[in-house]
Structure 1
């Protein structure tokens, strides 16, 4: 019965799409009356001040009467027991309790029939201690199969609080048919009706079809020269079967028109061909845009299949009608440059250390994106071998066909074969890792001469492990000190004329020790480098937490030629320092140029985090003069009200890249949130959208997607309006 009523409340606002409701912060353990311990055997324990026997089989108990069995507890001012028909009639100050719920009412009749207790209660208050649901009804009848509530109202607010409540003339729950039926349903919030349904039916166990909570918002539409446009989305959920469902929504944009949105999901059960999987397709359609007069649409689909225990297949399609769809219709992904569709077939045998991948992709440019190389397709295979004394050999072969929508770009097929040999020699005092890399690359190009390149590289990475015990500020710590020395050699080779996927690496700590100057395969810089580094950690001897971590490294070029082509004999000095002190943390990494005595690149951040509703994070980035700053935080104004914000601003050109601000109110019973998003598109063009969210405890949010967006835009913020 408890589950049935809870599902009843969920159905009106969430359609029982998800079993997880919203549970706002509230520590309320109050009950209708002190909880009684039920009998542990089949006997009926009877207590009363006075008792009378009439008509042979009828007992009248008065004065502090209580009946306690293994199935229920019943107390009242007066209880009449008829042994013949196994009926107990209680009057005055009635209290009833079983293993799920509690009732307090004027009268009650409990009748034993077969294995069920038939109960009828009048003018009752009820309470489910586990779910915290409580309410009132003029009459409750439970025959063991169906429960009928007349003139019922209930809420998930604490006892005595009815900020929101659901009322119905009658609710019938039938466990045999797994159906619930309600008539004249009204949801009231702060005494104001906000939802009405003359008749509603739903399933008691599992998912059920029904309307979900509508969502509301406003947005700025610069094209329409209107600042106060509104958005209303009304979703309806179809529970087609246990393994499939459909979400159909009407999304009304005041400046653009009505958009039909649909999302179909299906689980694929294991059969003779696949081990299982999942299929999902989503489509949006606007028949005629009020402004452009064009049809606007979106189509996304994903299929994930486990062909067997070693082979997985993923096919993803993402398409929109035009490049401005996200800016003008969706008001999301406005900073994206392309939509990628892909086919990814992977075979992985962990026991044999064998991996094979077939991958193909295509792109659709959106917003102000420019074309990039796509892999259409790529086939790769890799195999690892582990020998004695940590000897390892890794072989790989990858062949990629590169395509580009811009015909001015060189396209073609690149085939790259590589063999890596390494051995890790590790003791408590030191580690040595020599390595050898052999590779050959062949370019079959479409509109220029074919090219090829074979090259080798060698390297040695060594570490010395030192540690000592220290005491700082009264805390026993272990300080580790790890000097590190690496040598990397790669002979000079002419790079191919085409560059499909290589970019210069920054002088970060790990990249200096790798000996690699570029990402990807096309560019392999000459190296004859000796890299010195030093690492030191301060670790709490008792808890194992690291309070301070320091790193520094610099490379020296024996051939006096740096990766940027200058005659410098050394790299920038890469340094980082990370400090964690209880709720306060500092993180700083930089690249220092000893020739100019200037910092080329720096990333700094400071965070003070007491909890996900009270924190502050400041960050500053400087990449060769391109500077930006970030601010993220939340602060409780009162016990119930908190504000939150996230700002990313370019200091170099004084442009706010994105900005999020908002305020929220939370109580034990309901919550309200207002969030405003501003995102830079290009020039003086910004996208603005404001979302409103209302959560009634135990029911769904009116903006279920808002929490995920807030957690992305404001890191460290717990966006769900529920217990911290």
Structure 2
């Protein structure tokens, strides 16, 4: 029997949405503090639970039927069906057998129901199931008030002996009762008594959170509880007298889970972060941190977002280091402002207290190996093909013992204008590459001053289906106004150099029997730059980069504007690719190239060296991306010495997040010699031994120095609803001291759906150290 009850009185108000993570603070039972817990947003990290780790019976407690979404005009209707109905003279109605009551995004089923017109309530019993947009309930019985006219009545729904499931967080639980509805102050609350919750199988949970009463505030989207006990394997091991937790992605202020670790340079560490939800567009993370060997440090991370601007200020301050007896600090401020669609400003400011800060306080090889800090502010303006940039830049040398003369120059300011434009709608393009920069230096004896470079040019790029040719001519004009800050003047003549080039190539392709397509792409690049004496020009920002494929097609062998290399050369290059002709996916790319010189090169950094070689090193690259496999090989052959001057090999395999393997080898010789500069191996893997256990290793080793650079070993246990990971790391901090290594222990313990003990510190270390690693502990 089916009928529609078209009044808007019937309302089941039980919208509950738990966030993906509910963070808890580990407290000793005697604590008297009040603790709030927050789910800090992690953009892009929302994940689906891996049910393959769960037992078969797991799904029996996590089932639901999605409630229907009614059309707008029918959202006040109630549809009711039952096998049997009986109405009495007092207006009550008995429903029996396969009862289904549906409203917009609400579905109730039961064996028996009784509608009382006097009380305006429906009473349910027998296999009661309620499905709403964000929660599903299974109850022995209960009552729903259709129209709550009595202000003293605070409950619209009351159900007994419930089992509930929240799909958004994959959490389920049970409670003796749930009371839900509008309160006397018109707020929307639910109260669960004698309640427990977990993301495990509720029939046999490994961990369980219990409280005498849990209050859910649906308006502000959070829950709260007193005297909360967390049980693991049936044993109580965490307690907090009060806890707040979010029931949606809405942020809330409060303490996050503490981080615990140990290292040889800092001793035992304990950090207790406090998340502060300042406003919808602002938040901050304040982290008091105790280090056994160093003392108390305060860290902070403040973020803000407006319609046109986003920024972040983060840092740490240690008033007095117990080892050095000095003040230690680090900060970085970054901001991006999009003033208009084509006008933006970027700011990046950073500093540290001393040259040993990163070695003493970081477990990241990339950070500890930093030698300079770039501080800059940049204004960018784009107009079609034209791009303008104005920047002020200061680069701090981290090593305080480095002499002033060896430190980089400041750019105060640097202005560049780059672009090209078609001439009268023809294929001929006018190009301009211009720069003005004013160099200053902290050493008064160094040459300082300004450099202006204007490089107009003409290009005629032409192409067909199987060919291209791009002849170009440029004229580089540079003038200097230099001296020293101590008053010494220096005369530098203007530099005028024409640069001509022709870039040309062919495209051949053929289908293969396996359905793929192979290409053959020969390319020639001719470059002519006449010699101009530049020995009296100071060196502000110019150097010689490492030789690479990109160098084969550049019009200047130097990086920076103080030298323009003279040359008369021709580059020969050949590339072959293996493609999927339908998708364009590239599986294999192989390239080889070399420069042939027709004249000696006289321009150098020092002005004393003439390069008489008739050919460059040979550069070869091979990149393979084939399903789960990825391989890269880069080789540089020195024909004058008949040996490889640089070689890099890398092999990567990844079938899934729990099975990956990397192995790499790189070797580099000192330029124009047989002396080894770098020779290292880098091996890492993540391997799941079975459904639950996995291990990982990263070993970065220097063959040249016969010592470890970075070694990480770890083992993980990952179940349906909790996981633990233990990591040990040995990181080379300073190869010149007796205490060269920092040994650290990192632990991550996760109750899935609640949070982790170590936050993201362990995962950040692994993501930086193991190529292809992704966080599976979410």
Common topology (TM > 0.5): yes
Matched, 1:26 2:51: yes
Paired residue for 1:70?
103
1:527-570 alpha-carbon deviations (Å, 9 max, x no partner)? 01122222222223455333332222222211255987343322
Paired residue for 1:427?
464
Paired residue for 2:521?
482
Paired residue for 2:707?
655
1:276-332 alpha-carbon deviations (Å, 9 max, x no partner)? 313433342223222222222223323333333333222332122222222224455
* Partner Cα distance (2:464, 2:318) in 1: 66
Matched, 1:35 2:65: yes
* Partner Cα distance (2:567, 2:20) in 1: 70
1:594-637 alpha-carbon deviations (Å, 9 max, x no partner)? 33322222222222222232122222212223322221321112
Is the contact made by 2:20 and 2:753 (CA closer than 8 Å) also made in structure 1?
Answer: no
Task: Give the superposition deviation at 1:196.
Answer: 2.9
RMSD (Å), alpha carbons: 3.1
Is the contact made by 2:23 and 2:38 (CA closer than 8 Å) also made in structure 1?
Answer: yes
Write 1 or 2 for the structure with the bigger share of strand. 1
Is the contact made by 1:538 and 1:546 (CA closer than 8 Å) also made in structure 2?
Answer: yes
* Partner Cα distance (2:686, 2:629) in 1: 15
Partner-residue secondary structure (3-state), 1:326: helix
Partner-residue secondary structure (3-state), 1:143: strand
* Partner Cα distance (1:280, 1:165) in 2: 37
Normalising by the residue count of structure 1, what TM-score does the alignment of the two structures yield? Answer: 0.89
Query: Which moves more between the two structures, 659-668 or 230-239?
Result: 659-668
Task: Give the superposition deviation at 1:426.
Answer: 0.5
* Partner Cα distance (1:36, 1:268) in 2: 37
Paired residue for 1:216?
260
Paired residue for 1:436?
473
Task: Give the superposition deviation at 1:714.
Answer: 0.8
Structure 2: stretches of 5+ with no match in the other structure = 1-12, 26-36, 53-57, 183-187, 670-675
Paired residue for 1:196?
239
Normalising by the residue count of structure 2, what TM-score does the alignment of the two structures yield? Answer: 0.83
Partner-residue secondary structure (3-state), 2:767: helix
**TM alignment of 1:52-71, pairs within 5 A:** 56-60=90-94, 64=97, 66-70=99-103
Is the contact made by 1:336 and 1:367 (CA closer than 8 Å) also made in structure 2?
Answer: no
Is the contact made by 1:423 and 1:433 (CA closer than 8 Å) also made in structure 2?
Answer: yes
1:68-117 alpha-carbon deviations (Å, 9 max, x no partner)? 23365445554333233332223444333344332223331122116999
1:154–1:357 CA distance, 2 compared to 1 (3 A): same
Task: Give the superposition deviation at 1:231.
Answer: 0.8
1:108–1:403 CA distance, 2 compared to 1 (3 A): same
Task: Give the superposition deviation at 1:335.
Answer: 1.5
Is the contact made by 1:481 and 1:534 (CA closer than 8 Å) also made in structure 2?
Answer: yes
Paired residue for 2:686?
634
**TM alignment of 1:279-318, pairs within 5 A:** 279-318=311-350
Is the contact made by 1:31 and 1:129 (CA closer than 8 Å) also made in structure 2?
Answer: no
Task: Give the superposition deviation at 1:715.
Answer: 1.0
Paired residue for 1:272?
none
Task: Give the superposition deviation at 1:136.
Answer: 0.9
Is the contact made by 1:249 and 1:262 (CA closer than 8 Å) also made in structure 2?
Answer: yes
**TM alignment of 1:527-538, pairs within 5 A:** 527-538=567-578
From 271, 276, 287, the equivalent of 1:249 is 287
Task: Give the superposition deviation at 1:403.
Answer: 3.4
Matched, 1:578 2:623: yes
1:202–1:364 CA distance, 2 compared to 1 (3 A): same
Is the contact made by 1:334 and 1:679 (CA closer than 8 Å) also made in structure 2?
Answer: no
* Partner Cα distance (1:91, 1:409) in 2: 90
**TM alignment of 1:552-591, pairs within 5 A:** 552-560=592-600, 565-591=610-636
Paired residue for 1:461?
503
From 541, 545, 555, the equivalent of 1:501 is 541
Partner-residue secondary structure (3-state), 1:198: strand
Is the contact made by 1:327 and 1:367 (CA closer than 8 Å) also made in structure 2?
Answer: no
Matched, 1:185 2:244: no
* Partner Cα distance (2:498, 2:447) in 1: 26
Task: Give the superposition deviation at 1:59.
Answer: 4.5
1:164–1:479 CA distance, 2 compared to 1 (3 A): same
1:15–1:570 CA distance, 2 compared to 1 (3 A): same
Task: Give the superposition deviation at 1:411.
Answer: 3.3
Task: Give the superposition deviation at 1:141.
Answer: 0.5
Is the contact made by 2:359 and 2:368 (CA closer than 8 Å) also made in structure 1?
Answer: yes
Matched, 1:338 2:364: no
1:438-472 alpha-carbon deviations (Å, 9 max, x no partner)? 1122231315623232212111111122222333x
From 450, 463, 470, the equivalent of 2:491 is 450
Paired residue for 1:666?
718
Is the contact made by 1:106 and 1:123 (CA closer than 8 Å) also made in structure 2?
Answer: yes
Task: Give the superposition deviation at 1:215.
Answer: 0.9
Paired residue for 1:126?
164
Matched, 1:644 2:677: no
Matched, 1:379 2:399: no
Is the contact made by 1:539 and 1:548 (CA closer than 8 Å) also made in structure 2?
Answer: yes
Task: Give the superposition deviation at 1:590.
Answer: 1.4
1:517–1:295 CA distance, 2 compared to 1 (3 A): closer
Matched, 1:6 2:18: yes
* Partner Cα distance (1:658, 1:34) in 2: 49
Task: Give the superposition deviation at 1:359.
Answer: 2.3
Is the contact made by 2:269 and 2:291 (CA closer than 8 Å) also made in structure 1?
Answer: yes
1:411–1:646 CA distance, 2 compared to 1 (3 A): farther
1:172-196 alpha-carbon deviations (Å, 9 max, x no partner)? 2234566644222223333344543
1:368–1:630 CA distance, 2 compared to 1 (3 A): farther
Paired residue for 2:550?
510
* Partner Cα distance (1:32, 1:611) in 2: 26
Matched, 1:262 2:307: no
Is the contact made by 2:301 and 2:314 (CA closer than 8 Å) also made in structure 1?
Answer: yes
Is the contact made by 2:733 and 2:741 (CA closer than 8 Å) also made in structure 1?
Answer: yes
Partner-residue secondary structure (3-state), 2:340: coil
Task: Give the superposition deviation at 1:652.
Answer: 1.5
1:330–1:278 CA distance, 2 compared to 1 (3 A): same
